[in-house]
Amino acid sequence: MTNQQVLTLEIESKRTELYREAERLSFTSPTVLRLSHELDQLLLEYALAYESRISRYPRISPS
C-alpha cells in the first residue's frame, strides 16, 4: 500500500470519527474541534504530498 493510500484511509477514518462525534456532541465541542484540526492536518499533508508529486512533471501550456 502506498503512502498516499494510507493517508487517504487515515483521512476517511478521521472524517468518519469527526462526523460521529459531531452528531453525538456538537460541532463546537472541544473534542470535535480537535478532530477537525487533526483532519485539517491530514488534508494538508495529503495536499503537500500530491503537490510535490505533480511538481516533478512540467506543466503543459494550452495552445
CATH number of 23's domain? 4.10.280
- Assess if residue 25 is contained within a domain: yes
- Assess if residue 9 is contained within a domain: yes
Residues 6+ positions from 4 with CB-CB distance below 8 Å: 46, 49, 50, 53
- Assess if residue 27 is contained within a domain: yes
Under a CB-based contact definition with an 8 Å cutoff, are residues 35 and 18 in contact?
yes
- Assess if residue 15 is contained within a domain: yes
Question: What's the structural domain count of the chain?
Answer: 1
The three three-digit cell numbers of residue 10, written as one number:
487515515
The beta-carbon contacts of 39-44 under 8 Å, at least 24 apart in sequence, are 39/11, 39/14, 39/15, 42/7, 42/10, 42/11, 42/14, 43/11
In single-letter form, the type of residue at position 44 comes to: L
Give the tens place of pLDDT for each residue, 2-58: 888 999 999 999 999 999 999 999 999 999 999 999 999 999 999 998 877 766 656
Higher confidence at residue 63 or residue 41? Answer: 41
Q: What is the pLDDT of residue 49?
A: 86
Q: What is the pLDDT of residue 2?
A: 86
**Residue 44 sits in which domain range?**
3-53
- Assess if residue 42 is contained within a domain: yes
Q: What is the pLDDT of residue 42?
A: 97
Q: What is the pLDDT of residue 20?
A: 98
